[in-house]
Homo-oligomer: A and B are copies of this chain.
Amino acid sequence: MAKMGLDRQALLVAAAELADASGLDSLTLAALAQKLNVRSPSLYNHVKGLPDLRAALTVYCLHLLVETTRNAVIGKSGDEAILSLCEAYLRFAHTRPGLYEAFYKINTQQDEELDTARRELLDLFVRIMEPYRLGDRETLHAIRGLRSLLHGFATLEQHGGFQMDLPLDASVQYVLRTFLKGMHANKAG
């Protein structure tokens, strides 16, 4: 009975790998235990159970996503910053599909750390929109639009929703630039 030196973080990292490899649905405690060379009840020393593990994955994903998107906008502003953020977001979802699944299956439950991380991501979007001077209300509408575009694109791609023979990159560029043009037109009109 060798001590494996596991901790909550090690579980999270391994769980995220499993989810990325075969989908969040097939992330089971049994599979995780096997990957970590441990019997599944042992995992309960580090997480409260499967729901707790998944909730922790959500927070973990948010942290990584905030870090990724923050890096993407450093030294940029305006359309350039938005495009860079969006590309980073989509690249993240594409690279870590299982982890990203955990991100949006947010339990509506209250959670301190979760709320903080979500606010950080929202703040990033808000700050990036500041140069446009849209006012509070319109800024939030526009952010909802961008988030919907990104999330929709990421999940549709993940679930094989885009089957036409047309490069995804080009679609992303078209869609984002179209939305930005609309935003500018709003300002003008």
Contacts and interface: CB of A to CB of B under 8 A. Distances in A.
A35 interface: no
A148 B145 contact: no
A162 B181 contact: no
Interface in A132-189: 137-138, 140-142, 144-145, 147-153, 155-156, 159-164, 166, 170-171, 174-175, 177-186, 189
Given A137-B166, A156-B151, A145 B104 contact: no
Contacts of A140: 164, 166, 171
Interface residues of A, number: 44
A162 B118 CA distance: 11
B141 A175 contact: yes
Contacts of A147: 152, 156, 161
A106 interface: yes
A104 B158 CA distance: 10
A5 to B, nearest CB: 33
30 contacts: A104-B159, A106-B160, A106-B161, A108-B160, A118-B163, A140-B164, A140-B166, A140-B171, A141-B166, A141-B174, A141-B175, A142-B174, A144-B153, A144-B166, A145-B171, A145-B174, A147-B152, A148-B148, A151-B151, A151-B152, A151-B156, A151-B161, A178-B182, A178-B183, A178-B185, A179-B179, A179-B182, A180-B182, A181-B189, A184-B185
